Chain A
Amino acid sequence: TQLLEQSPQFLSIQEGENLTVYCNSSSVFSSLQWYRQEPGEGPVLLVTVVTGGEVKKLKRLTFQFGDARKDSSLHITAAQPGDTGLYLCAGLGTASKLTFGTGTRLQVTL
Chain B
Amino acid sequence: SAVISQKPSRDICQRGTSLTIQCQVDSQVTMMFWYRQQPGQSLTLIATANQGSEATYESGFVIDKFPISRPNLTFSTLTVSNMSPEDSSIYLCSVGVSGGTGELFFGEGSRLTVL
Q: How large is the interface on B (under 10, 10 to 19, 20 to 34, 35 or more residues)?
A: 20 to 34
Write the nearest CB–CB distance from A17 to chain B, whole angstroms.
23
Asked if A96 contacts B102 (CB within 8 A), the reply is yes
A31 / chain B contacts, CB cutoff of 8 Å: 101-102
Q: What separation, in Å, do the CA atoms of A50 and B44 have in the docked complex? A: 23
Asked if A40 contacts B108 (CB within 8 A), the reply is yes
Which stretch, A54-62, A76-84, A98-106, touches the partner chain B?
A98-106
A48 / chain B contacts, CB cutoff of 8 Å: 101-103
The number of residue pairs between A and B whose CB atoms lie closer than 8 Å in the complex comes to: 50
Asked if A42 contacts B41 (CB within 8 A), the reply is no
Let me know if A90 is at the binding interface, CB within 8 A. yes
Number of interface residues of A (CB under 8 A): 22
Q: Which of B4, B100, B103, B105 has the most CB of A within 10 A?
A: B103
User: Which residue of A30, A33, A40, A97 contacts B103 across the interface (Cβ within 8 Å)?
Assistant: A33
Asked if A45 contacts B103 (CB within 8 A), the reply is yes
Let me know if B104 is at the binding interface, CB within 8 A. yes
User: Which residue of B4, B100, B102, B107 contacts A90 across the interface (Cβ within 8 Å)?
Assistant: B102
Asked if A44 contacts B101 (CB within 8 A), the reply is no
